């Protein structure tokens, strides 16, 4: 087995030299990632100040390695060596993607990077205070600065001036190749069918039975049950962990050391279970990356949206389906004694699929979640283009919530101040949540065609065929293709909303009698 530090011996010499340098910064980043995980799960609160210094030092060193001119020179030499190889050859992919990362890292001047980091750190504090007091005026000057700095950042990266817009350059950091035009081309048809579907649910003749969402279960037993389910889905606990944290996430250092976290609610088993299954999707993507290519693009995930497609697939396509609910309900006796005896699998299923428009994105159900994302995409796009001034954000936010979700936003705390992303300087991030949801539905339809009896197997607790299919078709591909090219490779089609809408309508129409 090749060691993580050595270059791949089959690669030509200039490629090996470039990859050795590229691996250095990635190796350091993987150490920072373990410290970050430790901070959220194990570290006593007294460690915070020193940990911040440790992480800042590692980030500085990593940036130095990632922008080292020697790496740029080594990549130029490697580019000549791989020029005649096919586009998807691992060596060519590694050189191309390292060049993409290097150009991104070197295009921003150091003073802009520093200014962004320091403004974002104050802005996050001001945002937290403003949110508590529901006081948009307090956050507004910081939002204006964040938008201004992001516009400068986009200008440093550059974008297609004939056919694109500034927002594209920002989204590219989270989702390589993503453009506002592509996103709105996918979101438009989704919104057209989603808004009337949710309206029909609101006024539906039948109300599903949601009582299982309000049924206290022992927290420690929930955690043990979560571990049991994640293991059954195919997460390898010899190469990963599941711990508790305030905000669930998936981190770790590489494919053989994946650190997931979840959180549990006393009142509702499905909250914690859904979050554990979500992180397991992320975790199995990380574990499925090719160990032969550790610390190179061929051993890395494609993008945020493809990562999110893996988590949403296990959380929504599998976890909210009747076959899974049937199996999971049958396992509850072993973990909870008689605590869930009063419920049937059908009641668990209905509770998992309730649709309830609300103000808060992170609490939203599978259907309305995407409308929350669309509002944010439209508003950040308009702020970056200059069509919307920060001072007009609350009014526009509230207008879109009325139009898309039929809700009157009562205050900015439950409105435009609810998310951390913009205060942290992250513009161009939100659409990846919904793109991931749509990729998940499209991948799952393809998997169902490819694997006979797939969902019947779920009802018996057999999930490995799906994990192995995702492993071969998505995880092992590394960064060989950008998101939408991967989608075409796997499903034969470019990304659209149809598969997701079929999935949603197929469940909600019978459940609500519409
Ligand atoms: Zn996620």
Q: Which residues contact 109 (CB under 8 A, 6 or more apart)?
A: 156
> How far does the centroid of ligand 1 lie from the alpha carbon of residue 278, in Å?
6
Q: Nearest 5°: CA angle at 280, between 276 and 286?
A: 150
How big is the chain by its Cα radius of gyration, in Å? Answer: 23
User: Ligand 1 centre from 498 Cα, in Å?
Assistant: 22
Q: Could you read off the pLDDT of 180-231 as tens digits, one per residue?
A: 999 999 999 999 999 999 999 999 999 999 999 999 999 999 999 999 999 9
Q: Which fold has domain 13-161?
A: Methane Monooxygenase Hydroxylase; Chain G, domain 1 (1.20.58)
Dist. CA 76 → ligand 1 center (Å) = 35
- How many angstroms separate the CA atoms of 427 and 456, rounded? 42
How many angstroms separate the alpha carbon of residue 113 from the centre of ligand 1? 26
Tell me the per-residue pLDDT of 261-296, one tens digit each, with 9 for 90 and over: 999 999 999 999 999 999 999 999 999 999 999 999
Give 240's strand partners.
258
502 has a pLDDT exceeding 50: yes
Per-residue pLDDT tens digits for 455-467: 999 999 999 999 9
Return the structure tokens found at 480: 């060989």
Q: Within a 13 Å sphere around the CA of 297, how many CA atoms are in the beta-carbon half?
A: 25
CB atoms within 10 A of CB 413: 18
Distance 407 CA to ligand 1 centre (A): 26
Q: How many residues does this entry show for the chain?
A: 514
Q: Which DSSP category does 181 fall into?
A: H
- Characterise 395 by phi-psi region: left (phi > 0), alpha (psi -120 to 50), beta (else): alpha
pLDDT in tens, 90-137: 999 999 999 999 999 999 998 898 898 889 889 999 999 999 999 999
Contact by Cβ (8 Å): 443, 470: yes
Known active-site residue 279: yes
Cα torsion at 397, 180, 161, 302 (round to 10°)?
A: 130
Residue 327 alpha carbon to ligand 1 centre in Å: 24
Task: Compute the 3-state secondary structure of the chain and give helix, strand, coil in percent, each to the nearest 5.
Answer: 65, 5, 30
Which residues surround the ion ligand 1 when the cut-off is CB under 5 Å? 311
pTM score: 0.96
Neighbours of 101 (CB within 10 A): 20
Annotated catalytic residue, options 81, 97, 279, 308 = 279
CA of 194 from ligand 1 middle (Å) equals: 22
Q: For 268, which DSSP code? A: B
How does pLDDT run across 46-95, given as a tens digit for each residue? 998 899 889 989 988 999 999 999 999 999 999 999 999 999 999 999 99
Q: How far is CA 431 from CA 180, 213, 397, 463, in A?
A: 9, 28, 16, 29
CA 358 – ligand 1 centroid, Å: 20
Residue 308 CA to ligand 1 centre (angstroms): 5
Q: Give the start-to-end residue ranges of the domains of the chain.
A: 13-161, 180-512
Q: Do the bridges between strand 257-262 and strand 250-254 make them parallel or antiparallel, or are there none, so unpaired? A: antiparallel
pLDDT band for position 3 (cuts 50, 70, 90): very low
Return d(Cα 302, Cα 310) in angstroms, integer. Answer: 12
Find the 421 Cα to ligand 1 centroid distance in Å: 14
Q: What is the mean pLDDT of residues 423-443?
A: 97
**pLDDT score, position 5:** 46
Read out DSSP for 447-490?
HHHHSTTHHHHHHTT--HHHHHHHHHHTGGGTTSS-HHHHHHHH
Please state which CATH class domain 180-512 belongs to. mainly alpha
């Amino acid at each position: 087995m090749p060691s993580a530090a050595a270059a791949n011996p089959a690669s030509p010499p200039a490629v090996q030299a470039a990859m050795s340098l590229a691996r250095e910064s990635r190796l350091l980043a993987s150490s920072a990632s373990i410290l970050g995980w430790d901070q959220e799960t194990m570290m006593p609160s007294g460690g915070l100040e020193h940990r911040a210094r440790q992480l800042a030092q590692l980030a500085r060193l990593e940036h130095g390695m990632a922008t080292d001119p020697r790496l740029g020179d080594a990549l130029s030499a490697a580019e000549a060596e791989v020029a005649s190889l096919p586009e998807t050859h691992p060596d060519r992919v590694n050189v191309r993607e390292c060049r993409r990362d290097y150009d991104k890292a070197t295009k921003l001047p150091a003073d802009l990077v520093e200014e962004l980091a320091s403004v974002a750190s104050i802005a996050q504090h001001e945002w937290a205070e403003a949110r508590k007091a529901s006081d948009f005026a307090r956050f507004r000057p910081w939002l204006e600065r964040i938008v201004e700095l992001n516009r400068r950042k986009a200008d440093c990266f550059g974008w297609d001036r004939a056919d694109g817009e500034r927002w594209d350059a920002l989204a590219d950091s989270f989702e390589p190749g993503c453009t506002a035009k592509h996103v709105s081309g996918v979101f438009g048809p989704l919104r057209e069918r989603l808004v009337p579907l949710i309206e029909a649910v609101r006024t539906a003749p039948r109300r599903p039975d949601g009582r299982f969402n309000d049924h206290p279960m022992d927290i420690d037993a929930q955690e043990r049950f979560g571990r049991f389910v994640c293991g059954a889905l195919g997460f390898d606990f010899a190469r990963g962990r599941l711990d508790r944290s305030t905000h669930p996430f998936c981190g770790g250092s590489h494919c053989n050391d994946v650190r997931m976290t979840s959180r549990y609610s006393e009142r509702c088993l499905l909250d914690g279970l859904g979050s554990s299954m979500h992180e397991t999707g992320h975790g199995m993507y990380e574990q499925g990356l090719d160990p032969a290519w550790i610390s190179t693009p061929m051993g890395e995930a494609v993008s945020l949206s493809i990562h999110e497609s893996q988590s949403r697939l296990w959380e929504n396509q599998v976890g909210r389906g009747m076959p899974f609910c049937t199996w999971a309900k049958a396992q509850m006796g072993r973990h909870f004694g008689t605590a869930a005896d009063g419920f049937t699998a059908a009641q668990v299923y209905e509770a998992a699929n309730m649709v309830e428009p609300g103000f808060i994105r992170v609490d939203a159900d599978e259907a309305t979640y995407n409308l929350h994302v669309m509002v944010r995409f439209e508003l950040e796009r308009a702020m970056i283009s200059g069509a919307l001034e920060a001072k007009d954000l609350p009014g526009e936010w509230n207008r879109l919530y009325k139009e898309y979700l039929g809700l009157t936003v009562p205050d900015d705390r439950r409105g435009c101040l609810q998310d951390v992303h913009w205060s942290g300087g992250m513009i161009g991030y939100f659409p990846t949540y919904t793109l991931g949801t749509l990729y998940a539905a499209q991948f799952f339809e393809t998997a169902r065609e490819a694997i006979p009896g797939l969902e019947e197997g779920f009802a018996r607790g057999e999930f490995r065929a799906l994990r192995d299919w995702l492993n071969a078709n998505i995880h092992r591909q590394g960064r060989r293709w950008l998101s939408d090219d991967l989608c075409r490779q796997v499903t034969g089609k470019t990304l659209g909303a149809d598969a997701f809408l079929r999935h949603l309508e197929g469940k909600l129409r019978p459940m609500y009698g519409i």
